[in-house]
Structure 1
Amino acid sequence: MRVLIVEDDPTNQMLASLWFKKAGVASSDITTVNNGQEAVELIIKNAKLSPAQLFDIIYMDNEMPQMGGEEATQKIRAVEKEQNLPAADIRTCSGTYEGVFPGANGRLNKPFVPKEFIALVQEKRAQQDSHRPQSPKPGFFTEPKPPEVKEEPPKGQSTPRHGS
């Protein structure tokens, strides 16, 4: 599971990263950028590289320099639609803005509530698991039986008849 943290405050970057790690996300799967413009540029770059480089969850601060969370969310949604990418789960985060801006899936509160991070990661993992093809149950496939081989007598010989 890949997470993008879009946050201009270094302390909040560290705390959000910490809570995603405690929720079970590997450090190597967490990327942090400082504003919405950097987030949009990264999404566009990663979409060109590989689907494996896309983010499952985007933590989006609202008030940031260069480009705020609401504008960045709209641009990310436009890129996803334009390039036919799977939609990331975007969560708004703000200590002052109480709502969820258009295009976002929900919010994570500030100050941080650890159980919200855990619930979000568990929810995304459950969704991913439900979309994975299931492995067949043991015994589902059986070894094919070898074809029956009928031996034909060599040319010129007749098959013996029983009872003659």
Structure 2
Amino acid sequence: MKKLLLFICVSFNYLIAFGQLEANNFIVTPEGRVNWQKVYENKDVTFDDLVNTVQSNVKFSDIQIKENKITFLGTDIKTNPSEVGFSRMTTSFYALGEIKAFFTIDYKEGRYRITAVNISSNVPVVSLSRINTQGLDYEQTPIEESVGNGNGLKKGFIKKESLIMSHAIESQFKIVKQTDDNW
């Protein structure tokens, strides 16, 4: 009985010391970075379809295509809390800002993996020393500064903001298939 109680106490302390490291495709790396990653299995999607999808999206730039891999910068990815059932009024600033990230798409026959690293969000800068009569100033802030608690992901991010931001990122990858121009 003592061993069982000791095991439960140690397990509970482990959970407290190490917070949740994954939520809605967001992952905390051992270095403390927050990345987004999702694997899709779809035998109908080819590497050329992925290339077309990336090249046709105006929010993607610096596109590099190598053997079964596409890398690029995504900017101005807008979030919309109402698309996943939340209100803008109760959503944190970092989940309302435009997302910027570096993306990699790795392709294997019948499946592909999309990874976003160096994710940042355009958030308002609050400064009591300077009043801006033009409106708020914004700056790109790494999401680690807002979503982490030093031991993992914050509860609010896990329950709400990760859903909002994940949906915004995923919505950028609606597959564009090349069609035959022969009429």
Q: TM-score range by the shorter chain?
A: under 0.3
Larger helix share, 1 or 2: 1
Larger strand share, 1 or 2: 2
| TM-score relative to the length of structure 2 | 0.21
| TM-score relative to the length of structure 1 | 0.23
Structure with the greater relative contact order (CA < 8 A, sep ≥ 6): 1 or 2?
2
Higher Rg: 1
